[in-house]
C-alpha cells in the first residue's frame, strides 16, 4: 500500500470511530473527488491539498460550484495566509493542518457539518495576526491569473507527466499542451520544469518526492 493510501486509511479510521460520522466514499485523486461529489452528494467532503491530478483547492472550487450544498474541508501541511485565503475564497468551510498535535479530525468534520467554520489553531492565529496588524490582503497571486486548463497542466507537469502523457489524459494535442505550459510558466515567472515542480510543492499541490 502506498503512503497516500496509508494516510487515507488513518484518516478514515479517525472518522469511523465517531458514532455520528459515516464514511460513504473515498477517492485517490482530485478528479475522483469531483466525481464522488456528483455520485454521492455527502454532507461534508474532506479534501487533501496535495491530491494528484487536481489539487484540493481546485477540486473544492469545482465541487462548490456544482454542489453548493456540500460543505468542504481542506487538509494541508501549510498554514500560509495565501493558501488559506484561496481555500476560503472558493467556498471551503474548514482548513485543518495535518501536523497539528491536537488534531481532532472528527470534531472538525462535525463542526463543519453543523454549519460552523473550523480552522486549526495555527491557521486561526495567523488570520488573527493579519486582522490585528491591519495588514492589507496579499498582493495578487500570479497563480490566480492562470486559466483552469493551465492550472490543470501545472498540476500534471509537477506530478512528472510529459507533454505527450498530458495530451493523452486531457484529450488535446501535444502542441496545445506545449503552448499552455509555456504560457503558465511565463505567467508565474518560471523558466525550468524544476522551478515549476518546486512551486507546486511549496503550494502543497504535490508532495515532495
Q: By the 8 A CB rule, do 74 and 47 touch?
A: yes
pLDDT of 131 above 70: no
Q: By the 8 A CB rule, do 77 and 100 touch?
A: no
Cβ-based burial of 183 (10 A; exposed 0-12, middle 13-18, buried ≥19): middle
pLDDT of residue 67: 94
pLDDT of 209 above 60: no
Helix (H, G, I), strand (E, B) or coil at 96: strand
CATH number for the domain formed by residue range(s) 142-203: 1.10.10.10
d(CA 88, CA 108): 15
The pLDDT of 93-117, averaged and rounded, is 82
Residue 209 contacts by C-beta under 8 Å, 6 or more apart in sequence? Answer: none
Residue 185 contacts by C-beta under 8 Å, 6 or more apart in sequence? Answer: 191, 196
d(CA 103, CA 127): 19
C-alpha cell at 118: 473550523
pLDDT of residue 10: 80
pLDDT band at 109 (very low <50, low <70, confident <90, very high): very high
Least confident stretch, 112-116, 132-136, 188-192: 132-136
Residue 140 contacts by C-beta under 8 Å, 6 or more apart in sequence? Answer: none
Q: Residues 28-58: pLDDT tens digits?
A: 899 999 999 999 999 999 999 888 889 999 9
pLDDT of 73 above 90: yes
Cβ-based burial of 29 (10 A; exposed 0-12, middle 13-18, buried ≥19): middle
Helix (H, G, I), strand (E, B) or coil at 47: strand
pLDDT of 97 above 70: yes
pLDDT of residue 130: 53
d(CA 202, CA 133): 25
Q: By the 8 A CB rule, do 199 and 188 touch?
A: yes
Rg value, the chain, Cα: 17
Domain ranges for the chain, please list them.
3-133, 142-203
Q: Which CATH superfamily is domain 3-133 in?
A: Response regulator (3.40.50.2300)
3-class SS string, 157-168 = HHCCCCHHHHHH
Amino acid at each position: 500500500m502506498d503512503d497516500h493510501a496509508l494516510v487515507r486509511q488513518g484518516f478514515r479510521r479517525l472518522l469511523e470511530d465517531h458514532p455520528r460520522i459515516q464514511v460513504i466514499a473515498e477517492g485517490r485523486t482530485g478528479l475522483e473527488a469531483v466525481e464522488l461529489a456528483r455520485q454521492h452528494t455527502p454532507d461534508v467532503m474532506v479534501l487533501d491539498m496535495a491530491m494528484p491530478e487536481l489539487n484540493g483547492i481546485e477540486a473544492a472550487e469545482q465541487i462548490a460550484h456544482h454542489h453548493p450544498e456540500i460543505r468542504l474541508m481542506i487538509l494541508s501541511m501549510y498554514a500560509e495566509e495565501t493558501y488559506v485565503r484561496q481555500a476560503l475564497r472558493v467556498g471551503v468551510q474548514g482548513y485543518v493542518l495535518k501536523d497539528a498535535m491536537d488534531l481532532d479530525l472528527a470534531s472538525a468534520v462535525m463542526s463543519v457539518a453543523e454549519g460552523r467554520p473550523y480552522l486549526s489553531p495555527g491557521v486561526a492565529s495567523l488570520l488573527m495576526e493579519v486582522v490585528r496588524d491591519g495588514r492589507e490582503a496579499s498582493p495578487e497571486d500570479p497563480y490566480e491569473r492562470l486559466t483552469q486548463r493551465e492550472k490543470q497542466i501545472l498540476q500534471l507537469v509537477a506530478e512528472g507527466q510529459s507533454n505527450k502523457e498530458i495530451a493523452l489524459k486531457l484529450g488535446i494535442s501535444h502542441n496545445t499542451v506545449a503552448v499552455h505550459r509555456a504560457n503558465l510558466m511565463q505567467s508565474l515567472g518560471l523558466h525550468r520544469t524544476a522551478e515549476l515542480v518546486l512551486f507546486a510543492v511549496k503550494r502543497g499541490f504535490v508532495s515532495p518526492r
